Amino acid sequence: NAGVTQTPKFQVLKTGQSMTLQCAQDMNHNSMYWYRQDPGMGLRLIYYSASEGTTDKGEVPNGYNVSRLNKREFSLRLESAAPSQTSVYFCASSEFPDGYTFGSGTRLTVV
């Protein structure tokens, strides 16, 4: 099992550019999540999807949009990247009440 796969692993964007981070899971989980991790701040929830066809905002949704394309895939889009969005982004999936399974992350730098 691959678990949770994120692409790309690294990305450098210029301010104002857009991009989509891809996430796919093969565990048939209903719930999927996007977090960002900044030094000293732990992980903060950006958006989540409790099931196919539903999405909702987390703690820090501003500047982001998401799409739950199907049960497997949950993408995160930055429409106009800003330096404050420089971070490591993690996708996760889960099936209550089990723990989350995380991807290996996307390291994004906005210059």
- Contact residues for another protein (CB under 8 A)? 4, 31, 33, 35, 40-45, 48, 50, 56, 58-59, 90, 92, 94, 96-105
* In the complex, minimum distance from the CB of residue 78 to another protein, in angstroms, rounded to a whole number: 20
* In the complex, minimum distance from the CB of residue 81 to another protein, in angstroms, rounded to a whole number: 22
* In the complex, minimum distance from the CB of residue 9 to another protein, in angstroms, rounded to a whole number: 10
Contacts of 26 (CB under 8 A, 6+ apart): 1, 2, 3, 5, 72
Q: Kindly list the distances between the CA atom of residue 57 and the CA atoms of 8, 9, 22, in Å, as whole numbers in the listed order.
A: 23, 24, 18
